[in-house]
Amino acid sequence: MSRHTPRIVMKFGGTSVADLDRIRAVAEKVRKQVEAGCEVAVVVSAMSGVTNQLVGYCQSLSPLHDAREYDAVVATGEQVTSGLLAIALQTIGVEARSWLGWQIPLRTDAAHGKARIGSIDGDALVERMQAGQVPIIAGFQGVAPDGRITTLGRGGSDTSAVAIAAAIGADRCDIYTDVDGIYTTDPRIVARARKLDKITYEEMLELASVGAKVLQTRSVELAMKERVRVQVLSSFVDGPAPSEGNLPGSLVVDEDEIVEKELVAGIAYSRDEAKLSVRRIPDRPGIAAAIFGPLTAANVNVDMIVQSTGADGLTNMTFTTSRTDLARAIQSLEASRDVIQYGELVTDDDVVKISVVGIGMRSHAGVANLMFRTLSDRNINIQVISTSEIKVSVLIAAEYAELAVRALHTAYGLDAA
């Protein structure tokens, strides 16, 4: 016999639980979903601003703080909201209780600050849900093999929600946030951004990984792997509880569920970029390994890379990292200066990466060229380029970020009518 009480995970981000009035409004949304006849599990973020404040406390005490204690501190934001929402629900007659990561347990590896989820035991949650109780799960947190608290990286409650949805076999994972869906680009930057009814896992994964923060990259990765249906929708719009016939947000789906395939699905930007140029290096085999080996050892993630040949048998290597890795990258390169034998090291963190993403690129040439032409028409200089099967990224001066995103949005025909 097939089960058919629909089972839904509802995740609420920071702005959705920013104060007590919003928590009351969230409780009402949960009640509606329960009254629509669904089994519901809820995942909550910390109240907006709280995680930043907690991270700031750790950094002020010591920039090189113990990552295990960082996790003990920053995981508290979600503990507060899970308890508060449980109280708000009980107050309006909905049976609910809070769950912390270790109580489920949601097991992770020991990579404190950016832990990966290993396994989740969904049995206890399912049992409670079937008995009519709503579990309110603290997002962003788990428990390491040694029993200490871990967190999943910024934006990690999205990943908690998708992982819980997979563990309890949910029919859908609804991600409630401060915009009403996934757009062709950040609707806060481009007023003409268009809401997408559907987007493929692959495109959303690529968009998230190049800066569209509406979903954490790992949450999309996991949804794709576990085939979790994900909907992004607004927590500020009133309306009936969503149901299969009535999904007001944007759905992340398989490619074959999309009827009208566009060349480009969306455009993203990332300000978290820094450029390093190692100049006047003797051009000999092994030079890339001499530069990037020590960077890898120093835990610096390198993204875009270009090597250009200069005069007199010398070469230049230019690459990008995240801004937070810049200081460590400089330290590593200076430490290996004798081995690399470079002339100078020049860095710039006043840059932004703009990316155009679409599975249509697989079968259509000219997507990259349109990007280059559009930027050139606006006199925007491209500093570094990188491409993948379904993405083209360029690095440009930060001051042109909005101009570039808007111009590209129009050039690819994405503007809302």
Query: Residue numbers of the site for ligand ADP (CB under 6 A)?
Result: 13-16, 45, 155, 177-179, 182-183, 185-188, 212-214, 266
Number of H helices, E strands in the chain: 13, 22
Minimum distance of ligand ASP from residue 17's CB (angstroms): 9
Asked whether position 139 contacts Mg ion by CB under 5 A, the answer is no
Q: Is 183 annotated as a binding residue?
A: yes
Contact 321, 301 (CB under 8 A): yes
Q: Is 11 annotated as a binding residue?
A: yes
Nearest CB to ligand ADP, comparing residues 177 and 316: 177
Residue 185 interaction partner, one of ligand ASP, Mg ion, ligand ADP, none, beta carbon < 5-8 Å per kind: ligand ADP
Inter-helix orientation angle 76-91/20-35, to 10°: 60
Contact 89, 27 (CB under 8 A): yes
Nearest CB to ligand ADP, comparing residues 186 and 303: 186
* Token output for 65: 């703080």
Nearest CB to ligand ASP, comparing residues 122 and 156: 156
Nearest CB to ligand ADP, comparing residues 128 and 391: 391
Nearest CB to ligand ASP, comparing residues 18 and 94: 18
Minimum distance of ligand ASP from residue 211's CB (angstroms): 15
Q: Distance between CA 96 and CA 67 in Å, rounded? A: 32
Instruction: List, as one string, the DSSP characters of 184-224.
Output: SS-TTT-TT--EESEEEHHHHHHHHHTT-TTS-HHHHHHHH
Q: Site for Mg ion (CB under 5 A): which residue of 155, 181, 242, 249? A: 155
Q: For 341, phi and psi rounded to 5 degrees?
A: 60, 45
- Hunting for tokens 């470079």 — which residue is that? 342
Burial of 372 (0-12, 13-18, 19+ CB in 10 A): middle
Binding site for ligand ASP (CB under 6 A): 13-14, 45-46, 51, 77, 139-140, 154-158
Interface contacts to Mg ion, rule CB under 5 A: 13, 155
For the annotated binding site for substrate, the residues are 51, 78
For the annotated binding site for ATP, the residues are 11-14, 177-178, 183, 188, 213-214
